[in-house]
Structures are given as structure tokens and as C-alpha cells.
Amino acid sequence: MNYNPTSVWERDWDLLIVLDACRLDLLQSVADEYQFLSNQNSLTSVASSTSDWVKKIFDPQYKRKLAQAAYVTGNPNSIYAFPYTFSNQCDCGAEIKPSHQAVYHEGCEICSSCKTKLTGEREVPVKILKEVWRRSWDNDIGTIQPRPITDTAIETSRNQDIDSMIVHYMQPHHPFIPAPELDQGSYIGPNDKERKKQSRTIWEQLRTGDVDEETVWREYKNNLRHVLEDVKILLENVDADTAVVTSDHGNAIGEYGIYGHPRWMPIDPLVTVPWYETTGTDNKTHTPTESVTNSNVTSEEVTQRLQDLGYF
């Protein structure tokens, strides 16, 4: 295909609602069920996977817009957009070569020479960053439900002085919440406290023929409906002259022999994403549930949450 991506920052919007891994035709298939999905269009995404998408969306070239923006996210891949940086040299003179864990997870490194604990600085170009996945992950289903993201977004919209807000939901990305018997997340089964790896993701099951395409499409669609009910609540409780429902990337279901959403794969099912424009009005119909923020998530926990989503 002729790949000419468009950054979301090249379009006008106040509220960007990102439905993770949502194909254009999937959203089209349920659009008539939701009044706010009447103004249909599409966009060619800058990436075929979230880890690359966040890096490009939060690139320093957009620093002026980012400086007045909020990012409310349920996707643990936010670690790749906002890494920790370290000085090149310790006070003792030793060269510092921070590990992947230090840069993307922990923000600290031990000097190999003097054993001093070195603390990195996290580069966060947005005015407000709310990594909701750090405090509201549901280990029983291997993902995060939409509601904590909705509540945090409403709180942010009502209480913060911002020009724009990106709200990044995890659904319809697998695991498919309405079908736990089909898809429980790559690394977790029902009540599995030991987190034993399951053999196949839903896309691997489809590729090997252990589940048929009709079943996957039905539950993929139901997982989309699951999050769209929260999108409806969000749009009725935030003010936005231009709200957009879009996605970071789609999913392949066998096109060109590809399943899921591998990196650097700019085929139509992965990079042609929805772009539905609507509006938001805060009618005060929903009161967010207050939750305690716990951002002290360990490196191992971050990795486990990415594993739940099939990223390893």
C-alpha cells in the first residue's frame, strides 16, 4: 500500500478518544447503534502498534500542543512515550549505561563502579499525565475496565485548565471482557494467581484454527460495545466542541497471513483507523468514583501487564 500517515495533531479536536486496536470496519459495524457515531471518516495512523504510536504522538515536535494537553491512559505502553533519562557519567567518573528496565520502568540505576543509586528524570511533555493502568488494573481479567479511565477523564476535564485531552481506552483490544471463556489475556487464566502463561492469544487461536473467525469477530465487536457504553458516559460529562472517536491501530484477522497488530506493518487493516467527529457536553449525569492513586508499580508488574495484552 501507499503509506502516507497523518498525525492526530494535524487535525482539529479538543477531545481525542482512542479505542485501542479498533478496526475501521469494526466500528462501522456498530455505528448505527450509537448516536455519537454518525459523522464517519478515517485516518491513516502513524503506527501499527501502540508502542510506536505513543512515541510518535508525543514527539517533541508537538511540544506546544502537548504543553497544554492531558493524556489519560489505560495502556501500559505509555512507558515508551515518557522514558527516564540519565546523565552520561556518575559522580565517581564511571560511565552510566542505563538498562531497559531503568529507562522505561524503574527510573533508577545502580552505578557499576561505586554502587550509588542514580535517579533518572522522566520526560513528560504533556501538562497532565494520568496513567490509570498503574492503579486500576484487573488481574482477574488481564486488562483494565473502561470505567476508571472514564472517571479519571471526567475529573480531569472538570478540574484542570487544559486545551485538549487524549483519553486512551484499552478496549476493544483483547482480552475480550464479555467472553472470558474465550480470551482471558495472554498470561493469566481465571483465578490464576501464579500467572502461568497461556499457550495462545486470541489471534494465535484464530491463526491455528482453534477458534473460527465468526466467533472472534462477534466477541471483538462485543468488546467494542463494552467500551462504547463508557464513551457515551464520557461525552455526556465533558465539554468538547470537537470530540473524535479514533484508534491507535487496528487488528489483522488473516490479511496477508497476518494476525493481531505486529510492529512496522502498514497494511490497511492495521493503519486505516476510524475518525468519527462529534461533540461533548457536560450534563453532570455522572459522578466519578474517587480512587486512590498508586503509581508505585514495580518493573515486574509493568511487564506482567504488557504480557496480559500479548506484547511479549
Q: What is the mean pLDDT of residues 259-265?
A: 92
Cα separation, 86 vs 96, whole angstroms: 8
The most distant pair of C-alpha atoms in the chain lies apart, rounded to whole Å, by 65
For the cut 60, the answer to whether the pLDDT of residue 311 exceeds it is no
Q: What is the mean pLDDT of the chain?
A: 89
Q: What is the mean pLDDT of residues 6-29?
A: 98
Q: What is the mean pLDDT of residues 61-84?
A: 95
Against a cut of 0.85, is the pTM above it? Answer: yes
Residues 6+ apart with CB under 8 A from 56: 7, 46, 47
- Which one is predicted more confidently, 105 or 112? 112
Q: What dotted CATH number matches 8-82+123-309?
A: 3.40.720
Q: What is the pLDDT of residue 141?
A: 83
The number of CA neighbours under 13 Å toward the Cβ of 185 is: 25
Choose the weakest-confidence range: 41-50, 104-113, 128-137, 143-152. 104-113
Cα separation, 50 vs 310, whole angstroms: 12
Q: Where are the domains of the chain?
A: 8-82+123-309, 83-121
Q: What is the pLDDT of residue 292?
A: 44
Exposure string of 70-97, with b = 16+ CB inside 10 Å and e = fewer, is bbbbbbbbbbbbbbbebeeebeeeeebe
Angle at 71 between CA 70 and CA 73, to 5 degrees: 150
CB-based contact 308:184 (threshold 8 Å)? no
